Chains A and B, each alone.
Chain A
C-alpha cells in the first residue's frame, strides 16, 4: 500500500513539473496565438481593433497570474479555449481521445504480438532455417519512417488494390491501415529487446539445469525463458509510449483521422498554447500511468520482486 501511495505521489510531482515546464517553454516562444490569428492577413484589422482583442483574451496579464489561473483551471478540469478556433480544449481532447486510444491501444497490442512472433519464431529450434530472416527483420523495420509506411500502405492497399477505403471508411475498416502503420515500426525495437533477452536467459545456468533434466527446447522456451525475457520487454513497451504518441501525429495526419495527434499537429503549427499545454499534460499523465502499471506488474511476473516491494524496497 505504501508502495502504491509513494508511486502516486511521484506521479503527481511529475505531472506538475511537466505542466510548469511546458507552460514556461510555451510562453518563451516568439509571438503568440492572438498575434498569429488576428494580426495575420485573414482579417486585416486595425491596430486599435487588435488591442481590443488582446485585452479581451487577457494575453498581456503578468505571467505569474496567468500561471496560477491556468493551473487552478487544470485542477478544476477546465483547460481553457483553443486560441485558434475558440473550441473548449476539454471538448477538443474529449472528442479526440477515444480515437487515439483505440488506435494506439490496438497498435500496441499488435506490436507486442508481432514482436513476440518474430522473437519466439526465431528462437524455436525447428524454425532454425527462418532464424536469420526473422532476426534481420527488426533492424530493417526500425529504419522505415512511419509516414512513408503509411503513405505506401494508402497508395498500394487502398488506392491501387482497393481493399480498404481510406476516405469515410467503416469503424473497423478505418483502423486496419493506421494500426499497421503504427504497429510495425513499434514492434521492431520490442522484437530486438525480446530476442536479446531470450538469448541472455537461454545462456543462464538454470536453463542448462532444466535442459539436463530432459526438457524439450520448446518447453524451456515457453516455460522458463519466456517468463524471464518478458520483463525487459514490458519496460520497453512502457517507454515506447512516446514513440506511440509521435507515431500517432503522423498516422492521424496521413490518414486524415481525428485524434490527439492531429490536434497536436495543428496546435504546434499555430502555437495554440492552451491546446498544447493540455496535450503535454495528457501525454505526461499517460506516460506516468502506463509506467505505473508496468511497475505494478513486475511483482506479479517475478515473485522475487514481490517479496522486495512488500519489504518497502522500490522495485
Chain B
C-alpha cells in the first residue's frame, strides 16, 4: 500500500492547480480583514483543522505540533512566558525563588486551582508532576523531559509551597516550567502508562486548563469544551475567567488543498499549516495568515565534521559560500520565513548576529575547494584521488518544503562542483541513515524552544546530536570543545555568563563552518475574519483561550 504514498505530493499539486482555476472566479464575500475591535461574543464552536493526528498527551512528548495544540489549551503551567517579551511571569505559581547556583527552586502556588475532575492543584501534585517529568519512568514507557536538566527531587513544604532540588546548576528550569512539556496533570493522570496517554483515551487525561477534552474519534476529531469555572489564567493575559468559546472541534485534515479549501469556503474557521505556496491565495481571499515564529534553533543544515569529506573545514566553508540562501528563501518561501542570521533566530533568547560567516561567494567556494585538493572532473563534479565530491542530505519531512529547498541548494552547489544527493526515505530508513555519518553528511533540521538551552538540545551529544559529534558506533566525541561550550550554556547559574556562553557557542558553530542557517521557521496558520483574539504561546502553538467568533 505504500506505493500510493508518493502520489500525495502529486495530488497536492493537482489540487493546487484546481484551486487556482476554481477560486479565481469565486472570492468569498468576506469583508475587510478581521479586526479585533468590538465586544467579544461569548459561545460558539471553533472549527480548527490540524494537518496531522496527535500522537500522545504525555507532556514531555508534546513537542510535536498536533500534540502541542491540544496540551497548550488543556493543561496549565507553573509559570507563564510572555510570547512577546519572553519574560517569565506568574501563573499557577504566584512567585518563586531560585538559589544562587540554580540548584534549588521554590515555588509558591495559588490555592484556588482545581483540576477538571474536582481535585485540588496543590504542592503535592505539582511535586508529583515534576518527579515524573524530571526522572521519567521507563517501566511505564514515560521518558524524561528534554527541557529539564539535572533534576534530583521535590520537597513539599506545605499545601502551596514546593521546592525542587537539582544535582547540578539547572538555569533553564524556570523557563522549562512554562513550556508545554511541563503541563500540569492531575494526580490520577500521572499514574497513567504511555498507553493511557495515547489517542483513544484522551478524554481521560485531566488537566486544570481552560478547556477539557470531551470527545474523541481516534486519528480524526477531538472536541475541547470550555470549563465554566476556569478563573486562573496568567494575570498578565488580556482575558480572564472562562474562555469565550463554548467548544473547539479539532479535525485532522491531512490534504493541504482540502484544509485551505475548507477555510476559504467557510467550512472551517482556523487551520494550521498553510504552505508557503498557498499563503497568497488565502490572503487574496481576505483571510488572515498568522506566522508566529518558533524562535529557537533556525531551520539549517548541519555540516557533520566527522564525515570523511567534511572533516576538512575548507570544504565546509566552500559549501556555505556556495549556497545562495537569499535565493532559496525568495524562491521557495515567502517573507514570513525571514533569512536566518545565526544558528538561533533573532527572536530567540541570547541571539547574536553571525551573518558574515554565511555570505554567498561562489568564487571563494571554488578557491577553497581547489586548495583542499578537489579538482574539477570531466562531468563538472570535483574529484580527489578518483573519488567524486558527493554528499548526502536528508529530506526533513516535518519541515516545510524541505525537498524543494534542498533541490535548489543542490542545483546551486552543482555550480561549484559539489554533488548533493537528497535522501528521500521512509521514516525507518531515514531514522537509521541520519545516525550514520557515512550515509548522511549534511543534516537538515530545526528545533523550537524559547530558552537558551535550545542550542544545547540540538547539538549536545546526549540530546539531538545533530552534528553527530558523538559517534553512536564507538561512543567517541569528535569535538570536545563544542561539548564544553554547550554544557556551559545549560549549567551556568549566572544569567549574564549564560548569555555570553550562548553567544560563544553560536560563534563557534559559525566559525567552524558546522552549520548553514537557512531561515527562521514560523508556524503558519490561516483564519477567517470571524475569528478574533488569536494568540500563540512562546513557540507558536495556538491558544484558543482568548478566541471569540463573530456571529
Contact = CB atoms under 8 A, between A and B. Distances in A.
Given A85-B56, A168-B221, A258-B219, A245 B1 contact: yes
Interface residues of B, number: 75
Nearest to B249: A168
A253 to B, nearest CB: 5
B267 A88 contact: no
B197 A145 contact: no
B262 interface: yes
B435 A39 contact: yes
Interface in B1-21: 1-2, 4-5, 7-8, 11, 14-15, 18-19
Nearest to A82: B198
Contacts of A266: 53, 219
A255 B143 contact: no
A53 interface: yes
A263 interface: yes
A30 B195 contact: no
A167 B47 contact: yes
B258 A151 contact: yes
Contact of A253 (B254, B264, B398): B254
Contact of A246 (B1, B26, B253, B432): B1
A268 interface: yes
A145 B4 CA distance: 11
A155 B1 contact: no
Interface in B202-233: 217-221
B58 to A, nearest CB: 9
A56 B141 contact: yes
Nearest to B18: A155
Chain A, interface residues (CB within 8 Å), range: 35 or more
B335 interface: no
A246 B1 CA distance: 6
Contact of A92 (B4, B8, B218, B430): B218
A270 B426 CA distance: 8
B457 interface: yes
B199 interface: yes
- Chief secondary structure at chain A's binding surface: helix
B429 A31 contact: yes
B12 to A, nearest CB: 9
A88 B220 CA distance: 16
Contact of B15 (A88, A155, A160): A155
Interface string B140-154: 010110100000000
A256 interface: yes
A151 B15 contact: yes
B55 interface: yes
A245 B258 CA distance: 22
Interface stretch (A42-50, A207-215, A230-238): A42-50
A267 to B, nearest CB: 10
A166 B258 contact: yes
Given A87-B218, A256-B255, A165 B267 contact: yes
B268 A167 contact: yes
Contact of B199 (A29, A87, A148, A253): A87
Contacts of A56: 138-139, 141
Nearest to A169: B267
Contacts of A270: 427
Contacts of B251: 167-168, 256
B22 A96 contact: no
Given A254-B258, A270-B427, A147 B11 contact: yes
Contact of A49 (B26, B143, B428): B143
B138 A53 contact: yes
B65 to A, nearest CB: 10
Interface string A167-182: 1100000000000000
B53 to A, nearest CB: 7
A258 B218 contact: yes
A42 B376 CA distance: 40
Interface string B408-436: 00000000000000000011111111010
B200 interface: yes
A199 interface: no
B463 interface: yes
Contacts of A166: 258, 262, 267
Nearest to A45: B143
B294 interface: no
B458 to A, nearest CB: 8
A103 to B, nearest CB: 13
Contacts of A24: none
Interface in A108-155: 145, 147-148, 151-152, 154-155
B30 to A, nearest CB: 14
- Which residue of B47, B257, B261 has the most chain A CB atoms within 10 A of its CB atom? B261
A269 B457 contact: no
Given A30-B429, A47-B472, A263-B219, A167 B49 contact: yes
B55 A43 contact: no
Given A32-B428, A40-B431, A154-B258, 10 more contacts: A85-B198, A87-B201, A87-B218, A147-B7, A151-B14, A154-B257, A158-B267, A167-B251, A246-B1, A256-B253
Closest CB pairs A-B (n = 3): A31-B428, A86-B198, A258-B220
30 contacts: A31-B430, A31-B432, A32-B428, A36-B431, A42-B64, A47-B462, A49-B143, A57-B141, A81-B198, A85-B55, A85-B199, A86-B56, A87-B199, A88-B200, A91-B200, A95-B217, A151-B15, A151-B255, A151-B257, A155-B257, A155-B261, A156-B22, A158-B265, A158-B267, A160-B22, A254-B255, A254-B258, A256-B220, A268-B5, A268-B426
